[in-house]
Homo-oligomer: A and B are copies of this chain.
Amino acid sequence: MTSAPRREITGFSNPTVKFIRSLREKKHRKTSAKFLVEGLRLLTDARESGYLPEILILSTAREPHPLLEKLEIDLGQTGADVIETSPDILAKITGKSNPQAVAGVFAEFDTSLDTIDRSSAYIWLVAQDLRDPGNLGTMLRTGDAVGAGGLILIDDCADPFSVEAVRASMGAIFTQKLAKARWDEFLPWLRSGKNGAPGQLVAASLRDAVPYRGAPYQAPCFLLVGNESQGLPEDYEAACDLRVTMPMKGRADSLNAAMAGAVLAYEVLASFD
């Protein structure tokens, strides 16, 4: 039960500092397949979901905390790099003037469709061209709330491993499965019945749609939500098994994509009860 050994870093130009800092940019995350997680709360969410950081960064200004001790003990045998550094260097790494006292670098998960076992959950969220990392994180969180299996990102979505998306997920990035695919990979995958289960594709839509309340949802149900400003392409909607619509009492485009996903997901959840 010994903690991992720590090393101290005092220089801004230290290569590890530079590497961690680079993870704020998508291209560097892509190259290294690592991402940065800030704060003891998210690191604890990760640990409790079975994920440990490859690098743990501790501020010399941190307060002792039992959850941090647990994390250090769990890291003891893993060969993780545990670094102690100044608040100034942490501020540089995170780009924040008041950085959290702890951060961690994790390996990105495998996000291929093959990792999705559709029979493991009744609900799956699917987002197409979702551009806002906050919305993306919120959808992960909603998925967690409704007991969804995970989130499938279609076409050009925001990066789920960005600091903003990870933070907005409130830890759900570690509990929800995550996959990325182009539409023309996703649809054959869904229709193939691979992994031995079918899948109903449901679009939140305004065209040729039935009311979302009491619609004939079937598990596993894949709930497809479109881009924040464009909605879903017409041919994507046409390929769905069911198109449902929600009342819009105000302006035509009044509902946020993540919000529409949540209302719909709760309706599907209730219909399966």
In Å, the complex CA distance between A259 and B251 comes to 19
A67 contacts the other chain (Cβ, under 8 Å)? no
Instruction: Point out the residues of chain B lying under 8 angstroms from A143, CB to CB.
Output: 250
Chain B CB within 8 A of A13 CB: no
**Is A145 in contact with B249, judged by CB distance below 8 angstroms?**
yes
Question: A146 touching B266 by the CB < 8 A rule?
Answer: no
Name the segment of A24-32, A91-99, A134-142, A219-227 touching the other chain: A134-142
Separation of A171 and B256 alpha carbons in the complex (Å) = 12
Q: Which chain B residues lie closer than 8 Å to A253 at the CB level?
A: 170
Instruction: Give the interface size bracket for A toward B.
Output: 20 to 34
- From B144, B147, B256, B266, contact of A142 by CB (8 A): B256
Most buried by B among A213, A258, A262: A262
A9 within 8 A of B: no
Bound-state Cα–Cα, A18 to B164, Å: 31
User: Which B residue sits closest to A142, measured CB to CB?
Assistant: B259
The residues of B that contact A258 with a CB separation of less than 8 Å are: 259
Most buried by B among A249, A250, A256: A250
Q: How far is the CA of A251 from the CA of B259 in the complex (A)?
A: 19
- With contacts A259-B262, A262-B262, A263-B263 known, is A170 near B247, CB below 8 A? no
Q: Is the CB of B138 within 8 A of A254?
A: no
Residues from chain B with Cβ under 8 Å of A256 in the complex? 138, 141-142, 170
- Among candidates B45, B146, B246, B254, residue contacting A251 with C-beta atoms closer than 8 Å: B45
A172 touches B138 (CB 8 A): no
**Closest partner residue, chain B, to A247 (CB atom):** B269
Residues of B within 8 A of A144 (CB): 249-251, 254
User: Contacts A262-B262, A270-B213 given: A145-B175 contact, CB under 8 Å?
Assistant: no
A248 at the interface (CB under 8 A from B): yes
Q: Which residue of B lies closest to A253 (CB)?
A: B170
Q: Is A255 an interface residue (CB 8 A)?
A: yes
Contact B134 A250 (CB under 8 A): no
A246 to B263, CA, bound (A): 12
- 11 A-B contact pairs sorted by A residue (CB < 8 Å): A45-B251, A138-B256, A141-B255, A142-B259, A144-B251, A170-B251, A170-B253, A171-B251, A172-B254, A247-B266, A258-B259
Q: What are the 8 A-B residue pairs with the smallest beta carbon separation, nearest first?
A: A147-B249, A144-B250, A145-B254, A145-B255, A144-B254, A259-B262, A263-B266, A145-B248
Given contacts A134-B134, A146-B247, 8 further A-B contacts (CB under 8 A): A138-B259, A145-B255, A170-B253, A170-B256, A171-B251, A213-B270, A259-B259, A263-B266
